[in-house]
Amino acid sequence: MLRQSPFHDRVTAANQTSLWSHWAGHLVVDKYQMSEKWEYMAVRNAVGLFDSSPLYKYRITGPDAERYLSGVLTRDIRMCRPGQAQYTIWCDDRGYVNEDGVVFRQAADDFLLTAAEPNLSYFQNLIGTDRVEITDVTYDSATLAVQGPRSRVVLSELAPEVNQLGFFDHTSAKIADVPVTISRTGFTGDLGFEIYVDAADANAVWDAVSEAGAPHGLVPFGQTALLMARIEAGLLLINVDFEASRFAENDEHRSTPIELGLGWMLKGIGDDSRPFIGRKAILREQAEGTSRWKMMGLVVDWDDYERKYTEAGMVPPKDHTPVHEDMMVYDDQAQRVGYATSFMYSPVLQRHIALARLRPDMATPGAKVNLEFTINHHYVQVGAHAARTPFFTPDRKTAMPAQPGDES
């Protein structure tokens, strides 16, 4: 039986399309209005509201909580202070990525970890002799993402504490006299915040944020608009850009952190005091240069794209709806050098873009490649070039607001 989010009454009332899909056993909105592009534009130009309650949430507590997480998570949790959060991953003993999530440090021995897939038994089986307790609190709380350039203005009217939040910080606050935790996080690659609130108080928070956001053009946005924004932001999506190693059928469907472009998480990997799961395998990969791929962005050559479709008697499509399937990538000698996993026409960039795995020797910004399309039922290669991600990363995403007394 499908679950309903704590915000279900509100999202149902706002959903003008009656288009729904499933996420983590929940019923979720695909798009609230007939044009998901309208919702996307609200996120990029004003402010949008997204129900991310279905995320799995695990509370990890106990005297050995930090030591336990240091041995499980690939990124060094010891560098995360109370009031901060980290985007992180966890790997198997062969150095392949299982999943990703965000870990919030609430105190020295108190953490909250979010994940897109269920992981409770997996984490509990790794406890061993550590004095740690892991509790599934997924259904105890609701999560509301407030995203876009006006998000801070809206929330500061309700909780002035957000003006002091740095990127990936979090704080306790109150909205509509309801205790909440607000983090400066999100999945849109824009300025944004996420509100964690007890499930019983969810609707009061939705109503307060909606009322405060109305003068700023706030609209709820669904899955489609979110997935558009996350491709522009270069954010990876499980079961699309990578698969969980523990469920993959073979190594062709597994990825290492380096292959996913997450090598930046490996800072301090040479520190022998933190032998996290997969460390030895990743060190071997680094030393021997055995990475098969590297995740990069692709930007399609608009002139070649237009010409190939026009010569075929077609109007060149500019569809912003994300395509989540393999699209082959070739060099100029028609040799396969990788494959794209996510593709779309970006409204803000006005370019076709993709997230792709490229052979390491081709994974250089500006490297010429060819992306395969189907035109008139024939495979056609269109020029593109490799690019760094994120494609879209506005300064406001990480900038702090001007404080009183600052020079204008």
Q: CATH no. for residue 39?
A: 3.30.1360.120
pLDDT tens per residue, range 187-240: 999 999 999 999 999 999 999 999 999 999 999 999 999 999 999 999 999 999
| Half-sphere exposure (Cβ direction) of 309: Cα atoms closer than 13 Å | 14
359 and 301 assigned to the same domain: yes
pLDDT tens per residue, range 59-74: 999 999 999 999 999 9
pLDDT tens per residue, range 125-177: 999 999 999 999 999 999 999 999 999 999 999 999 999 999 999 999 999 99
For residue 405, being part of any structural domain is answered with: no
171 and 279 assigned to the same domain: no
Q: Which of 291, 307, 335 is the last residue of a domain?
A: 291
For residue 246, being part of any structural domain is answered with: no
Assign residue 100 the CATH number of its domain: 3.30.70.1400
88 and 151 assigned to the same domain: no
48 and 144 assigned to the same domain: yes
Say what the pLDDT of residue 408 is: 40
pLDDT tens per residue, range 333-353: 999 999 999 999 999 999 999
60 and 132 assigned to the same domain: yes
- Structural domain of residue 375, as residue ranges? 294-387
